Amino acid sequence: MTGNPRLPRRRDRRGFRRLVLLCALIGMLLGAPGASGLANDVTPPVITVKVFGTLGNDDGKPSTDGWFTSNVIVNWKVDDPESPILSWSGCEPRTLDSDTVQVSLTCSATSQGGGPVSVTKTFTIDKTAPAVRAAAVREPDSNGWYTGPLNVTFAGTDGTSGVASCSSAGYSGPDTATAVVGGSCHDNAGNLGGGSFSFKYDATAPNVSGLRASAGDRSAKVSWKASADTRLFEVRRKPGRKGEAETLVYRGSATAARDFRLKVGERYSYRVTGFDEAANSATESVGLLAAGALFSPAPGARTGSPPRLIWSAVKRAKYYNLQLVRGRKVLSAWPVRPGFQLRRTWIYNGRRYRLRPGVYRWYVWPGIGRRSAARYGRLLGSSTFVMSR
């Protein structure tokens, strides 16, 4: 036998070492204890969510109902520090931009070492303010106008979170044709919606003043003044016509009215009422003693200064004969117009007279043709006045 007997032993030692290294490597790849820790991972991945959005307000505080009033951005984070993530679904970033009563998002993941896991997050979003409507608690008083304090209520509708509360308001002035009352409603997400109620308001009566009544020949003229907001006047007379207690003799926008067919010597009362556009009213009254053709001063009127005597004009009369009597005739005059101003003193038939205190009666006849013809018509009438001093 020839050769070196030790060579096979060296080859056997080298093969054994290679075998040991190979087994160690296989053990590491197969997750042998102490190699990588994979065999000890039995927990699922951890899923967390980050939400960006505005929570609604409830009386100035964040909504406790979880309502968002803006777009909502949802970011998911999936983590497993012990083993790699093998799969996930629904975990991409999302932006929710529509009103919704409820929408749910789910992120699911599985790691190599742990089992699958899912996390679900539910969102409620209401970015829209409630629609608000307003209404008065009563109808207008007249012609579309309110003439007294008014309460206005507000109501709303909201198709997502629903209406939580609404306000109310009152109005008592100032007077204006363009009054506006505002109010609001909150929904359950905290959105605020506004509304308004427009109307006309006038709680102030017009003004009627300077009322006067002057007598004519069985007639009367009633005149007055009024504030600029007065639109309509009514004039009523007592006693009325045909046995009525009161009669409407005028209705219109003028500031004067005439009444006819009065009974001479009858005392009448005229009531003038002014109305504004809202039907507020003011009333004033004046009395009158009806006269005939001789109408000023009124029969039996008292005066402290020489009166102007006025009577009805007569057609075709060229002049008139006026006679004044106090126990006896103290004056005769021939004015060409239907009126004559008495003086404190005068001369008649060569004698001077003075307008002294007492009762005077006067008469008037119309003169026809030339005065020299002394042709007179029927007596127009007679009347009296009283000098008080």
Asked if residue 26 is part of any domain, the answer here is: no
Among 201, 235, 256, the domain-final residue is: 201
Among 149, 166, 201, the domain-final residue is: 201
Per-residue pLDDT of the chain (389 residues; tens, 9 = 90+): 444 445 455 555 566 556 645 654 554 444 444 344 455 667 889 999 999 999 987 654 555 578 999 999 999 999 998 889 999 999 999 999 999 999 999 999 999 877 789 999 999 999 999 999 999 999 999 999 999 999 999 999 999 999 999 999 999 999 999 999 999 999 999 999 999 999 999 999 999 999 999 999 999 999 999 999 999 999 999 999 999 999 999 999 999 999 999 998 899 999 999 999 999 999 999 999 999 999 999 888 999 999 999 999 999 999 999 999 999 999 999 999 999 999 999 999 999 999 999 999 999 999 999 999 999 999 999 999 999 98
The answer to whether residues 306 and 380 belong to one domain is: yes
| 162 CA to centre of own chain | 28
The answer to whether residues 135 and 168 belong to one domain is: yes
CB 352 within 8 A of CB 346: yes
Report pLDDT for 298. Answer: 87
The answer to whether residues 167 and 185 belong to one domain is: yes
Residue with tokens 């018509």: 377
Asked if residue 233 is part of any domain, the answer here is: yes
The answer to whether residues 197 and 214 belong to one domain is: no
The answer to whether residues 227 and 188 belong to one domain is: no
Q: Residue 347 belongs to what domain range?
A: 294-387
List own/partner pairs for 247-255 with CB under 8 A and 24 or more apart: 250/222, 255/223, 255/224, 255/225, 255/226
Asked if residue 24 is part of any domain, the answer here is: no
Asked if residue 383 is part of any domain, the answer here is: yes
The answer to whether residues 306 and 253 belong to one domain is: no
Asked if residue 261 is part of any domain, the answer here is: yes
The answer to whether residues 116 and 143 belong to one domain is: no
The answer to whether residues 382 and 304 belong to one domain is: yes
Among 169, 201, 233, the domain-final residue is: 201
Asked if residue 102 is part of any domain, the answer here is: yes
Task: Give the span between the Cα atoms of 137 and 151, in whole angstroms.
Answer: 6
Q: Which of 196, 130, 135 is nearest to 164 (CA)?
A: 130
SS (H, E, C) 239-265: CCHHHCCCEEEEEECCCEEEECCCCCC
Task: Give the span between the Cα atoms of 354 and 345, in whole angstroms.
Answer: 4
The answer to whether residues 311 and 383 belong to one domain is: yes
Asked if residue 16 is part of any domain, the answer here is: no
CATH number at residue 51: 2.60.40
CATH number at residue 242: 2.60.40.10
Asked if residue 35 is part of any domain, the answer here is: no
Domains in the chain, number:
4
Beta carbons within 8 Å of 133's beta carbon, 6+ residues apart: 154, 155, 156, 195
Question: Which region, left, alpha or beta, applies to residue 344 given φ > 0 means left and ψ of -120 to 50 means alpha?
Answer: alpha
Phi, psi of 25 (to 5 degrees): -65, -40
